[in-house]
Structure 1
Amino acid sequence: MAMYDAWWPDIEAWGLADLKSLKRKRVNYYVARVSTLLEKARYLRAEPLTEEEVAVHRPDLPFAIARFADVQWPAFEWEDRLEGRHADGGAHPEAGDVGLRTPEVYLYPFGPDGGEKAGSRIQADNGTFFTLEEIIRKAGAVQASFVRDKSPVQGMGIYRAGLQRLVPAYYLWGHNSKLHT
């Protein structure tokens, strides 16, 4: 996957260029498969992110974490299945893997028909980062009130959505992202 910005002719600017205006907004990132970009995009120029843009958009954060085909939301019974797993769902030798290196995030749960619900702002217990276990536990609590007998998704996953009030935002979904379903 790749994230990109777009030129908005009506405002004669890049969509995410005005960082000050993002403080009051929710920003959804455009996401596309790399193969789609290679096939359809045309190279114009390269403009590295400024230090301020890097600090706001946090390209160091993963697109996807906690992807598990064999765990369903609200994920309260996941602990025995996570032992020795990495944040991306693969095998990893260390326990307590760092899930997200940020002190806070917005999480957007989905409803029984798959529609997105209002986001919840959550804080890391240690004030610095979320362990994999912590982000799953807190995401499960956010998702729990929307889970019904039949889920619109298989498995679980947490995916980068963008920003809300300059805080990284993620949406909750199934093992495959919305881009891939």
Structure 2
Amino acid sequence: MEPSWIEAGAVYRWAHDERPMRVLMHDHDVAMYDVWWPHLRNWGLSNIGEAKRKRIDYYVTRISSLASKASYLRTDPLTEEEFKLHRPDLPFSMGRCSEVQWAESVPETRQEMAERLRSAGCLSDGGETTVPASDLYLVPFGPNGGQKRPVRVKPDDGVAFTIEELIWKSARAQAEVVDGVLPTEGIGVYRAGLQRGVPSYYLWGADSKLHSRAS
């Protein structure tokens, strides 16, 4: 099995688990997935209405692990309703930068944040990258790395976030929780799952928690 074969809706089985798993989204070397619940005879997130009322953290793995430790079974494409809920078109990670820290003072404007990122070599001069979402939940972390209350944010234009806008709003959310010495190096925003039907992202360092554990 080649990693390039992975797609949203692809169903696999881990060598160590009889329960099938179904890819909900994949981006670069990361796949996020749902698991079959035998007692329900259905996928864990099959109830769309229920999923929209809960906080959901997706299962996550590296695609290299999936490719070497799982067997492909079939593809059950995401329905239109599932696509709208899970948003597999959104990236797994955004705004990764090892030269900027969450503990630094938050700029007054998103333009100032753009300058900070650009001077650190973490923002391209060749046009703005946007994240096509009308709202997201951001999950800051505490001094020991634990997750804090999610913060709902909306783009200024009501349509899509620019990367500098999202990082600026993330920095503001993080500063409300804790400043000073933090358990991370650098900054990054990473897909977590859903919060009441809205895509959620956790704040962390320049490497995701998945990649930090693997290093």
Q: What TM-score does the superposition give when structure 1 sets the normalisation length?
A: 0.90
Kept in 2: contact 1:154–1:175 (CA 8 A) = yes
Q: Secondary structure at the match of 1:43?
A: strand
Which residue of 1 is the match for residue 31 of structure 2? 2
Structure 2 gaps of 5+ residues are: 1-29, 108-112
Distance 1:53 1:42, change over 3 A: same
Gaps spanning 5+ residues in structure 1: where?
none
TM-score where L is the length of structure 2: 0.77
Q: 1:79 aligns with which of 109, 114, 122?
A: 114
- Aligned position for 1:32: 61
Task: Give the Å deviation of 1:85.
Answer: 8.9
Structure ranking higher in strand proportion? 2
Matches of 1:4 and 1:71 in 2, distance apart? 31
Mapping of residues 18-167 of structure 1, within 5 Å: 18-74=47-103, 76=106, 78-83=113-118, 89=122, 91=124, 93-94=126-127, 96-98=128-130, 100-167=131-198
Between the aligned partners of 1:74 and 1:141, the Cα distance in structure 2 is 10
Is the contact made by 2:103 and 2:181 (CA closer than 8 Å) also made in structure 1? no
Higher relative contact order (CA 8 A, sep 6+): 1
Counting matched residue pairs gives 177
The higher radius of gyration belongs to 2
Runs of 4+ in structure 1 off by over 4 angstroms are none
Structure 2 vs 1, CA of residues 12 and 161 (structure 1 numbering), >3 Å: closer, same or farther? same
Residue 23 of structure 1 and its aligned partner are, at CA, apart by: 1.7
Identity across the alignment (%)? 49
RMSD, aligned CA = 1.9
Q: What's the counterpart of residue 173 of structure 1? A: 204
